[in-house]
Structure 1
Amino acid sequence: MVMVGIGPGPGGAAPASAAGSLTMVALGDSSAAGPLVGTQNSLDCLRSSSNWPAVAARALGAQLTDVTCSGATTADLTGKRFGYIAPQLDAVTADTDIVTVAIGANDINMGGTVVGCTQPLPEPYGVSCKSWMTAGGDTTDSQLAAVRPKIVDAVNRIHAKAPGASVHLVGYLRYWDETGCYPTDPIWAVDAEWLQSIFDRTNAMIRQAAAESGATYIDIATPSTGHGVCAPYASKWVEGLVPTSVAAPYHPNQSGMDAAGAVVASAIGG
């Protein structure tokens, strides 16, 4: 999911970080890449050098190859993003020890849905995005059902390329708790609840894909409860439409990356 970074060069993998004998490859979208957070090591992918894969790799003492890319969908795991960025799965080799995958939300246009729910007018003026986006029925579940086998296929490909690697599917942070916080963040309560339900259902789909493919699922949503868009500045892990720290709108900030990285490292190092 990305709605927008500046980096020294286009596309490609971030240089492998120095560490011990463990090798780790990070695949995924902007939830892992970290657009605008800290130093960006890829202009095209809006990828941070201090995103949660980097935080987790440091904690694990692993050498990281990070090919996460903002805006990525499951198609970019096996195909070239923008026609020239190598398929993310190319980074996985026979000697890879750990693979993390954070993908799925862009397949259902979650970023566009969130932006489409921003509302300059308070209730009862204007129209709830949930009402018009689900006028013909809520198609979220059917869309997610179509994404799940694509993630399963990607994990199967990883297992084939790196038979000894542990594969971890990482979900999305929690964005809204209960009622939202209009007008601080310009999404009505009913719409914030609906949007969070989509993130919840996306995480459930990823968990199911992990179970079907022999991967492990890492839950970062539960630990992030109370740290979402509406949290006070000091405890916020996810930014709203107008960020209060350096991060892309509706994306994790550095605190969120640090926290998610710690959860991921603990789950892998278990």
Structure 2
Amino acid sequence: MGKSRRRALSGLAALGAAALMVGGGAAPSPATPAERYVALGDSYTSAPGVPRQIDADCARSDRNYPSLTARSIGAASFRDVSCGGATTAEMWRSQRSNPSQLTAVTKDTTLVTVQIGGNDIGFGEIMSTCGSLGATDPGGAPCTAHYTAGGTDVLADRIAGAAPLVEKVLDAVHARSPRARVYVLGYPPILPESGP
């Protein structure tokens, strides 16, 4: 696997970490009995393909991490508005038959998880391109060559461009619910740190 693939995925995790720092995330604290939890995000949050799907439009599972978290902490209320394919724009606009995700965040919300940004940088296209290129040169780094052709690291530029979009989402969450604890989740590494 090429360096660009690893760099893209590491960048996605860094995007989440950077957004956490910019958004003023706090250290975890125990849930209160009256926790009002809202989950925002894309397919990494909604968990397409994980049984039992409860929203076909968004490929949302009742066994995704927000649902498990809500049950684990005994949340008094829970809204999971994550949706497969969501970008930061879907925080403000409807996606298929679903309203904008930010409408779920209110002044009474006490806990918010956010996992967004991967689709803003073209995660699906990156994985498809790198998968196809990798098949043509399994021992080489064709993905790296593709995304750094001409001396510009396209993936690093995309990640840098998405960071302010994630920051705007966090600012909007804090504006809607100033007292809520907000946790930003990065994307899990799905490729090895080293190797072809």
- The list of structure 1 runs, each at least 4 consecutive aligned residues, that deviate by more than 4 angstroms after superposition, is none
Please point out which of 148, 162, 172 is paired with 1:157: 172
Name the structure 2 match of 1:75: 89
Residue deviations 1:63-95 (CA, integer Å, cap 9, x gap): 32000001110000111123x421100001111
1:135 lines up with 2:144 in the alignment:
no
- In the alignment of these two chains, the number of paired residues is 161
Name the structure 1 match of 2:74: 61
Return the alpha-carbon distance in structure 2 between the equivalents of residues 141 and 121 of structure 1.
24
The normalised TM-score by structure 2 is: 0.75
- Structure 2 counterparts to residues 31-42 of structure 1, below 5 A: 31-42=44-55
Return the alpha-carbon distance in structure 2 between the equivalents of residues 38 and 92 of structure 1.
26
Per the TM alignment, residue 178 of structure 1 is displaced from its structure 2 partner at its CA by 3.1
Superposition RMSD on alpha carbons, in Å?
2.0
- Structure 2 counterparts to residues 12-31 of structure 1, below 5 A: 20-31=33-44
Per the TM alignment, residue 165 of structure 1 is displaced from its structure 2 partner at its CA by 0.8
Q: Which structure would you say has the larger RCO, counting Cα contacts within 8 Å and 6 or more residues apart?
A: 2
Show structure 2 runs of 5+ residues with no match.
Answer: 1-32
1:102 lines up with 2:115 in the alignment:
yes
Per the TM alignment, residue 124 of structure 1 is displaced from its structure 2 partner at its CA by 5.9
Return the alpha-carbon distance in structure 1 between the equivalents of residues 135 and 156 of structure 2.
28
Asked if the contact 2:81–2:104 (Cα under 8 Å) also holds between the matched residues in 1, the reply is yes
Return the alpha-carbon distance in structure 1 between the equivalents of residues 168 and 143 of structure 2.
33
Moved more, 36-45 or 115-124: 115-124
Matching residue's letter, 1:99 = V
| Higher helix fraction (1 or 2) | 2
Show structure 1 runs of 5+ residues with no match.
Answer: 1-19, 181-188, 190-270
Return the alpha-carbon distance in structure 2 between the equivalents of residues 144 and 128 of structure 1.
20
**% identity of equivalent residues:** 38
Matching residue's letter, 2:127 = V
Return the alpha-carbon distance in structure 2 between the equivalents of residues 77 and 39 of structure 1.
24
The normalised TM-score by structure 1 is: 0.55
1:46 lines up with 2:59 in the alignment:
yes
Matching residue's letter, 2:62 = S
Return the alpha-carbon distance in structure 2 between the equivalents of residues 101 and 123 of structure 1.
35
Secondary structure of the residue aligned to 1:168 is: strand
Residue deviations 1:183-220 (CA, integer Å, cap 9, x gap): xxxxxx2xxxxxxxxxxxxxxxxxxxxxxxxxxxxxxx
1:146 lines up with 2:161 in the alignment:
yes
Return the alpha-carbon distance in structure 1 between the equivalents of residues 180 and 168 of structure 2.
16
Matching residue's letter, 1:71 = G
